[in-house]
Structure 1
Amino acid sequence: MNIIFFALVAIAFASAAWHQLRWDGAGEAPMAQLTSGVINAAGGAVELAIALIGVMTLFLGLIKVAEAGGLLAILARLIRPLMVRLFPDVPPNHPAMGAMILNLSANMMGLGNAATPFGIRAMQALNQLNTRPGVASDSMVLFLAINTSSVTLLPTGVIAIRAAAGSSDPAAILPTTLFATLCATVAGISAAFLYRRFAPLPPLPAAPAAEQETPSTPDQALPESTDDTPLAEDDGRAYPAWVSGLALLGFVALIPLSVLYGQAIAPWIIPSLVMGFLAFGLLRGVRIYEVFVEGAKDGFQVAVRIIPYLVAILVAVGMLRASGALGAFVALLGPITGPLGLPAEALPMALLRPLSGSGAYGVMASIINDPAIGPDSYVGLLVTTLQGSTETTFYVLAVYFGAVGIRRLRHALPAALTADLVAVIAAVFAVSFLFGQAVM
C-alpha cells in the first residue's frame, strides 16, 4: 500500500506539473486546482466518515443481536455436510473443520475482519495435518480460494457506505453481490482443483517426523478480535444431509429470484432485516436492546478508526482527479472497457481491490460521492458490487499463510485471482442485467 499510495500522489503531481508548465494563463492554474483538490478531498473524507457513523452502528448492532442468538452456529451446521465432502483429507471432528466453518459463516454474514481470527485458527489447524512444512497443502489452498471468494449474504459495510452517500436504495446491491460471490466461489473451488495438477506437492522430507519442524498450534499467533467478544466455538454438530440440501437449493433459488425481482424486493430488504434480526434475537432469548447497543458501540469505533485511511486514499484520488491524470486514464481505456460493461471510471476499483482493501475502499467512496456519478448510477452500483463481492487477495494470502510460515504457495494465488476475475465478470453481468447497461 505504501507504493500504491506514493504512486497515486506522484502521478497526480507530475500531471499537474506538466499542465502547469504548459499553462497559458487562462482559468485557474493547474497547481492551484491540485491544491483545492487536496483540501476538498481531506474534508470530504471526514464528512463521509461522520455520515457513516449512524448507519454503521445500526448494522453492527443488528449483526451482534443475530450472532448472540446463534445465527452463526446455525449457518455452521448447515454447511458442515458440504465442507466434509470438499475437504475429505480433513477429519470431520478436527479443529480445522470447525474453524473453517466458522470463518465462512462469518464471511457470509458480512462480518469482515471479525472472520479473520477464525481463518487464521483454521490455517494453523490445517498446518497440523500438513506433512510438508512450509508448503501449502491442497486443503490450505482450497480454503484460501473459498475464503477470498466467499459467498456473501449481507454486505453490511457496503450498504452502510451507500446509505451514507445518499443512496435512495442502499440495499440494491444485495442481489448483484449474491450472484457475483456465488459465481466467484464456484470458480475458486474449480480453480483450486484444476490448478493443483500444475503445482504438485514436493516429495515428503526424508528426516524422521520427530525431527521435522513442529507445526503451529491453533492457539498460537491468533490476532486480536475486533471487539471483546470471545471467539465462538463450533460444537461439531450438523443438521441432517437433507436439511442442508434443502437449504442449499433454497439458497441457489435466491439467485434467479433476486436477479428477476431484485428491484421490487430491494425496498423491503433493510426494514425486513431490522425486523427479522430483532425478532430472531427475541425468540432466541437475547436481551436485544442491550446486545444491540453493545454492537452499535463497535460501529461508532469502526467509523472513527477509518478516518485516517479515508483521508489518505481520498486525498490521493482527489489529486488524481484534480490533476487531470484520472480523466486521461478514463479517456484512454473507456472505449475498450465501456462496451463490455466496465466503464473506465470503475476500472481502477477492479484492479486495486485484490491489492489493497483500504485503497479500493477509498476509490469506491470517491466514486459514489462524486456528484456527477453518485451511488445509484450504473457506475456507483457496479463499484459497490465489486467492493462487496471481491476480496483483498494479497492481504489474505500474506496474513493467513504468514501465520503458519508457509513459503511455497503453490497454486493458491492463481486460484484466488481466478475467483476475483470471475467475480468482476459476474458483477458486470448482474448489474448490467438488473440496471440496464448493455453488454456486448
Structure 2
Amino acid sequence: MSELPVVVVGAGPIGLAAAAELTERGLEPLVLERGTGAGAAVSEWNHVRLFSAWRELVAPAAGRLLEATGWQRPAPERYPTGQEWVTEYLAPLAAVLGTRVRFGTEVTGVARRGRDRVVDHGRDTEPLTVHVRHRDGREELVTAAALIDASGTWPTPNPLGGDGLPAPGERAAADRIAYRVPDLDDPRVRARYAGRHVAIAGSGHSALTALVAFAALAQEEPETRISWLLRRGAVGDTFGGGEADQLPARGALGLRAKAAVEAGLVTVLTGFRTESVDRDPAGRLILTASAGTRLDVDEVVAVTGFRPDLSWLSELRLELDATLQAPVALAPLIDPNVHSCGTVYPHGAKELAHPEPGVFLAGMKSYGRAPTFLAMTGYEQVRSIAAFLAGDHAAAERVELQLAETGVCGGSGLFDEPGQGGCCGTPAGPELISLSPVRKGHS
C-alpha cells in the first residue's frame, strides 16, 4: 500500500493543495481531472473577482513548492479574478506537480479491490480501485492507497424548483435559465439580457453578485427589469454584515446589492418558491410560486447553490449527514438551519473520515449542501488529511483555523418564522469563495 499513490480527484484549488501537501510529506499524489487544465471550474467564472485576497488564496505547502522554482507570490492584499487565480497560481502549481496531474481523465467510480460495499473482509488491507475514463473513451483501473475527493460541487447546481427538484417545465425552459452568474462583459451574453425582464433566484453571495452585475446593466440599459426571487419570507440579513464583516470585500458586496434594491433597480419578491415553469405564446416564461404568485419574465438566473455528486462513490461506505450530505462529524458545525455566524470549529482528518478506510471528502464537496465555504478552510482540511495519511497523527489533530466572521447571526432555516434567529450560541460555517463582479482588466 505504501508504494501506491494517493488519488486526488479534481485539479482545483483544494485538489492541487492536497497534492502539494502530500508531496511535502513524501507521499505520491495522483491528481485526476476531467477538465483540460487546472482550475477548470474556476475558469467558468473567470470574469468574477473573489472577495478573498491573495493572502488567503495560496495554500501554504503549495506556496513553498512554487517558491522553490522562483515563482513570485502575488501581492497579498490584491483581490484576483477567477482568471487571475488560475493563470497566476493554479496553472503554475499544476505545472510544478508535473506528471502527478492528469487532465482529460474522469473518475467514474471508486471501490475496494475485489469487494463491493457489502463485503467486510479485506476492507482494511485491500487497496482502492479507481475507475477512470479518458477523453478518448479508453477505460483504466488505477490502484490507490487512499482517496481525497476534492471534485467540488460546481457541476451540480441546485434547481430553480423550490422543493429541491426541477420544477415541472424547468428542464424544457433550459434555454432561458442560467445556473451561473452570467458574464455581462461578453457582448453576446449582454445582448441576451439587455432590455429584458430578468428574474434572479437565490439568497447567497452568488445571488448578490448577480444583483450587482444586473443592476449595473439596468443603469446602462434602462429597459432592463430585475426581479429578485427569495424563498425566505423576508429579506432580513440577506445582504450580510456590511461594515461588520471581517472580510471587507464580502461586506461591500452586500452593501452594493442593498443599494441597488434601495435605488429601485431591483424588485424583491419574498416567499417565492417556484412550483412550475411555463411558456406563454410569445415564448416568455411564466413562473408560478407555491403560494400561487405568478411572474412573467424573459430570462432566469437561478443561483440557488450547489450539491455534491455522490453517484460515483456508491460502492464506498460513506457516513453522511441525512440533511446536508456532509460527513456526520462536520455537519453540525456548518448546518445553515442552525447558524450562519461566519466561524467554524477547527476540523480536519478526524471529522472528514468515513467508515471506508483512507477515503476523505475535502473542499466544497465536504460541505455537502451547506452553502458557504472559504478556500482556506479546504487548505487546512487537506493539510490535516495529508498529515494523517503520512502517519503524523499529532499534526493531523492539531487543526487551527480562524476565519473572518460575517457580522451576521441567525439560522437561515428559521428566516420564515417571525421572531426566530438571533445570535448563534455556537460557531458556524465559513462563507463561499463567491465574489463581486468586475469589468475585465480593472482592479
User: TM-score w.r.t. structure 1 length?
Assistant: 0.26
Specify which structure has the higher proportion of strand.
2
Greater RCO (CA < 8 Å, at least 6 residues apart): 1
Specify which structure has the higher proportion of helix.
1
